[in-house]
Structure 1
């Protein structure tokens, strides 16, 4: 049985065939992953572009609403005064947002991670686990 029959492959032929098939399978999986990433990238790009467009139109809509507020107040007051009122209100709102943002940043600065101390604590916990 040293010589294989033409119908049955030898062990070496089986290993070579397995190696070739495995290589083909891995290459196919890599190509599939590339195609999926490319498709996901296109979809994400389109989504991001649409969000940017929505933000731009939202900005213009907000500007129109501000102009509408100015014109609405101008029916009872002079136009310059109504624009001044709306401008001051917007500045107050911007100041409030800045104040809240600063408070949030200051609060974030209070949390100071200490990686060295945490690492030492982790080492002590592991040492205690081994000694127990």
Structure 2
């Protein structure tokens, strides 16, 4: 053996080095992904918390506006109990309309028609292959 051949790595060493480098690269990519996902999760959690706070304040505003509307109706000369009842009935009517619209939308919703159809075709094709057709 000459000196030049001793310095060159064997195929086994090359494969081991490549495997080690690939493993290190994969681990590094996974760590990078974890770090990015952690930052994204923190931002998403903060955003969700802020939306929750906004929804709570919106609910409080609706309650206060409802009370104000009832007192406004009461200022027209109606008894306060009747004014609050009128505001409640208006909300119930709005809720009923929303329910009817929602029911109509749900009735129009259909399942994944194309996926079901292609699945049935695949089953038929596999049955045909199984029978030897």
The match for 1:68 is 68
Once the 2 structures are TM-superposed, how far is the Cα of residue 2 of structure 1 from its aligned partner? 4.5
The match for 2:54 is 54
Residues 1:115 and 1:49: Cα distance change in structure 2 (over 3 Å)? same
Once the 2 structures are TM-superposed, how far is the Cα of residue 85 of structure 1 from its aligned partner? 1.2
C-alpha deviations, 1:22-69, integer Å up to 9, x for none?
Answer: 221111111111111111111111111111111111111111111111
The match for 1:87 is 88
Bigger CA drift: 114-123 or 27-36? 114-123
The match for 1:100 is 101
The match for 1:31 is 31
Bigger CA drift: 111-120 or 56-65? 111-120
Residues 1:116 and 1:80: Cα distance change in structure 2 (over 3 Å)? closer
Which runs of 5 or more structure 2 residues have no equivalent in the other structure?
A: 126-133
The match for 1:130 is none
For 1:107 and 1:54, the matched residues in 2 are separated by 32
Q: TM-score, normalised by structure 2?
A: 0.74
Q: What is the number of equivalent residue pairs in this alignment?
A: 121
The match for 2:131 is none
Q: Is the 8 A contact 1:4 1:10 kept in 2?
A: no
The match for 1:10 is 9
Which of the pair has the greater relative contact order for Cα pairs under 8 Å at 6+ separation?
2
For 1:28 and 1:114, the matched residues in 2 are separated by 41
Which runs of 5 or more structure 1 residues have no equivalent in the other structure?
A: 125-132
